[in-house]
Amino acid sequence: MGYLICNDCKQYYELQPREKPEDFSDKCHCNGILIYKENIDFFNPNTTEDEIIIKKERKI
């Protein structure tokens, strides 16, 4: 799997089984750029659920 992480607001989306980074837009809802990462070990564990939800926008 992996994660799409915004380079601006730092929110992320965990890819689900059978999803690929190419299935999504490269833009976050904040207009930042989404970057694919295999893991998010560096992410702050104190982040609340509200802070980590991003809108996933599928490419048409």
* Pair of tokens at residue 13: 């989306």
* Pair of tokens at residue 56: 């996933």
Q: What is the pLDDT of residues 1-58, one digit of tens each?
A: 899 999 888 888 999 999 999 999 989 999 999 989 888 765 555 555 544 444 444 4
In the block, residue with structure tokens 């799409």:
4
Q: Is residue 44 part of a domain?
A: yes
Using an 8 Å Cβ cutoff, are 11 and 33 in contact? no
Q: Which of 40, 43, 38, 41 is nearest to 20 (CA)?
A: 38
Give the number of domains in the chain. 1
Q: Is residue 23 part of a domain?
A: yes
In the block, residue with structure tokens 């048409």:
60
**How many whole angstroms separate alpha carbon 41 and alpha carbon 21?**
19
* Pair of tokens at residue 42: 């560096």
pLDDT of 55: 44
pLDDT of 53: 47
Q: Is residue 58 part of a domain?
A: no
pLDDT of 60: 39
Domain assignment of residue 37, given as a range: 3-52
Q: Is residue 60 part of a domain?
A: no
